[in-house]
Structure 1
Amino acid sequence: MAQPHPDDELNPTVTEGYKVGQAKTVQELANLDKEDESLQRWKASLGIGASGSGGGAKKVVLKTLFLTSPTRQQGDVVLDLTQKPDELARLKKEPITIKEGVDYSVGISFTVEGEIVSGLRYIQVVKRAGITVDRGEHMLGSYGPQDQPYIKIFASEESPSGMLARSGSYNVRSRVIDDDGAVWLDVEWGFKLGKEW
């Protein structure tokens, strides 16, 4: 896990006065307030059982980054984040095509292993010709360990349109980071705009 550079535009924003709480293991959380039935049901919904199913080191495993749009007949555009580093590097060299002037959403799927991860955020910076044209930061939240992937889809946005927007390609850098500053994903990919998907 890489540590972010202090002046990196991919660092998460900091809320003044916010302090990260003391980390607790899944077992410690499972044993809290055992007599409170509704709290136990809530903890079970988070994957925190009386058996304390956690254990091992905290790990976030990114599965996919995807673009979804009601205008795309062929389904989502999916980037497989489980590939080897040299295959991931191709994502930047071989840009995907996004149809100009349509609404689309970016989504991400991931699993959590070992212990609870808190304050997970997705940060994305889009550049064209080396100049930042967009930056987005989305709070994913806190998650307990589970085998089934969590899926998060961000708010819809409209892709640029026009001949100027279609000329050239865009470079995107996506990062997933938690409250402890652990970087779970730092990947570059590219897209270009076209008249069709």
Structure 2
Amino acid sequence: MGKHFLLPVYDVVHHVFGLQPIHREMVALAALRDGHRVLDVGCGTGNLLRTTGKLHREVDLVGLDPDQKALARARRKARRAGLTMRLDHGFAQELPYPDASFDRVFSSLMLHHLDTASKDALLGEVRRVLRPDGLLVLADAVVDGHGHGHGPGRMSEHLRDNVGDAVSRRIVSAGFTVEPTRTMGLRIGGTIGIELARPTRAAAD
């Protein structure tokens, strides 16, 4: 949320806006199998990873976030839930993982926080760390044609890049094949678009 003093209310916001059903849908769409290695880029306090781990006990969970305090909170929540996950400090534009090392990559309500160059760097890095048969599941706020954001809280100016199918086009440009956008409404705050993207053959080769 951009401010350390707001971390204690992060999970309250998560509940109030109704993000849990979004996370459950992302996990369902990921079609996870035992042994899959899953990365959540911008994992924050670990809500999506925790949902994933509760539903799929035999997957390998990894989270990355630049906020050390959020990661500390995620570790505490994972311990309370009885889950094992690796939580790394780092930035989405420079993922600290080998090529083709993940079966699934999640990104939840993080893309709109990045400027244009960072968005492209993130997607390029995701393509690099995904295995050839891997899958990116990305959720972000949907913006109407007038540039008005529909999502939780005050959105950054970079939301203008989310107008229409701009997110899908950006993902395709990074070397992915993208399915039609799925949309889900929040309890309050608007609409979330969920993108499913697979590395193209050329990118995988």
TM-score bracket, normalised by the shorter chain, equals: under 0.3
Please say which structure displays the higher CA radius of gyration: 1
TM-score, normalization by structure 1: 0.24
**What's the TM-score, normalizing by structure 2?**
0.24
Higher relative contact order (CA 8 A, sep 6+): 1
Structure that is richer in strand per residue = 1
Higher helix share: 2
